[in-house]
Amino acid sequence: MQIPLKKTLEHLAPQWPENLLPAIRCKLKQANVSVVVLDDDPTGTQTVYDVPILTNWTANSLAQEFEKAIPLFYVLTNSRSVPQSAAESLAREIGTNLQEASHRTGRSFAVISRSDSTMRGHFPAEVDALAQALGLEEAVRVIAPFFLEGGRYTINDVHYVREGEFLVPAAETQFAKDAVFGYSNSNLKQWVEEKTQGKVSADSVVSFTLDDIRTGGPERVTEKLLQCNSNDVCVVNAAAYRDLEVFILSLLSAEQSGTKLLCRTAASFVRTRAGLSSHPLLAANQLPLNKNGRGLVIIGSYVPRSSTQLYHLLENTQIKGIEIQVERLCEQTRNTEIERAAAAAEKGLSQNSDVVLFTSRKLITGRNSQSNLAIGNLISDGLVKIVKNISTKPRYILAKGGITSSDIATKALGIKRGWVLGQILPGVPVWQTGHETRFPGMAYIVFPGNVGGPEAITKIVDDLS
């Protein structure tokens, strides 16, 4: 049942009156640790700026970041694209390598498991595996999916997705019908019980309510955190960045007192945990654009929001549209379809046209979640091969969808260490590719599948033309 956004927010208690970012920064300076964000797809950089993102996690690569005393960096795991067992193995491997890099350099670190603001991903398996590798089996788990830029609010323990001027419970949206990560509960306490298959009961989940945060403030939230028992699971209500400031300042105080915490969050939490303030959106003249090229847009995401944006783009610009038939990518005609699409894209770019490569909109599903992931990876691999066969350097590349943008970044472009410049639209990050890539120093726009209005991609293409 949807509720009105404006009226709902107006009826909440007033936000905590004090800006707490200076106090958070002070505590971060005292702690002097690196915050490492393990991101299950590349869209998690959608709230930060001027930070590196690694696409590998060897102990040597991690140690290099620690040696530079980098206060915040991302490790792109792309674990949402693999089966649960593989995601667990990834988490254990990265956790082990972090421990080794820390021991080698003497640099302490804190970890955030960043995942989808609409609650899709390998929870709790991925977090439990990470806890095991880091020696945090007894840590309190914190779940905070609030993401302002994408219109995700948690109020009275219910997680909502903004649709127009209304808030819709997350379980009533298309995201909850995900073929791999679907769920039926919008109440986070009940969601935890659902995802843990009853191992953690809804009644045992600790809720940090908006009353705790907005009325009790840091003192009340810190007290409540210190009262948590080992292995407790907590959910954080939030409807504004100030709510996160209150909780994170309290979290840092609790950690100073010896409480072990492991956080599973959306992107807004990361920005506040790093003490970052808001940052202006990037303008075209601030991006490293290839002056002689045209834009290449790649849309693999199939969620309705992505399709709406695609149709708007095709109807309102002169962009050259190249549809990739998904069925052909899954059959013996695969190589022929890849060659056809790559040749058409090459021709469009060489003739000074913006180009959009997009998968056919019919969703193909398998027998179970494992086969659905396999189909998704087969399609994404086809997109990678198409882009690898394009030799003309584009003006920029925009990739739509989590798996799509990750695979294009790592497999098609060869990014090993990118640099997050900021956001071109709310929740839409821009990276600069490294010197090691096929197209060095280029703007790479990572566009989440579940973000933006109908005209969002069109606006970017128009602004960067």
For residue range 277-330, list pLDDT tens digits in order: 999 999 999 999 999 899 999 998 877 889 999 999 999 999 999 999 888 887
- For domain 3-273, the CATH class is alpha beta
- pLDDT at site 366: 67
Task: Tell me how crowded residue 164 is: count the other CB atoms within 10 A of its CB.
Answer: 10
- C-beta neighbour count of 196 within 10 angstroms: 17
Question: Is the backbone of residue 427 left (phi > 0), alpha (psi -120 to 50) or beta?
Answer: left
Give yes or no for a cis peptide into 124 (omega within 30° of 0).
Answer: yes
Question: Is residue 131 within 8 Å of 139, Cβ to Cβ?
Answer: yes
At 408 the pLDDT is 95
Q: Is 293 helix (H, G, I), strand (E, B) or coil?
A: coil
Q: Are 157 and 189 in contact (CB under 8 A)?
A: yes
Beta-carbon count within 10 A of 32 CB? 10
Reading the block at residue 138, the tokens are: 């007894």
In the chain the first and final C-alpha atoms are separated, in Å, by 41
What pLDDT is recorded for position 377?
76
Q: What pLDDT is recorded for position 131?
A: 98
- Give the pair of three-digit tokens for residue 310: 């695609």
> What is the C-alpha separation between 24 and 96, in angstroms, rounded?
28
pLDDT in tens, 367-380: 677 777 777 778 88
In this predicted structure, what is the pLDDT of residue 16? 98
pLDDT of the residue at 436: 95
Q: Do the beta carbons of residue 239 and residue 13 sit within 8 Å?
A: no
CATH topology of domain 284-464: Molybdenum Cofactor Biosythetic Enzyme; Chain A (3.40.980)
Q: How is residue 261 written in tokens? A: 């915490």
Q: Where are the domains of the chain?
A: 3-273, 284-464
The model's pLDDT over 85-109, given as tens digits with 9 standing for 90+, comes to: 999 999 999 999 999 999 999 999 9
**What's the rounded mean pLDDT across residues 434-446?**
96
pLDDT digits (tens, 9 = 90+) for 26-75: 999 999 999 999 999 888 899 999 999 999 999 999 999 999 999 999 99
**pLDDT score at 209:** 98
Least confident stretch, 156-165, 253-262, 264-273, 369-378: 369-378
Name the average pLDDT for the chain.
Answer: 94
What percentage of the chain reaches a pLDDT higher than 90?
85
Mean pLDDT of 273-278: 95
Q: Which residues, in sequence order, are CB contacts of 376 under 8 Å at separation 6+?
A: 81, 180, 403
Does 135 have pLDDT greater than 80?
yes
The residue-averaged pLDDT of 356-377 equals 77
C-alpha distances in angstroms, 195 versus 41, 126, 207? Answer: 20, 12, 17
The pLDDT of residue 118: 94
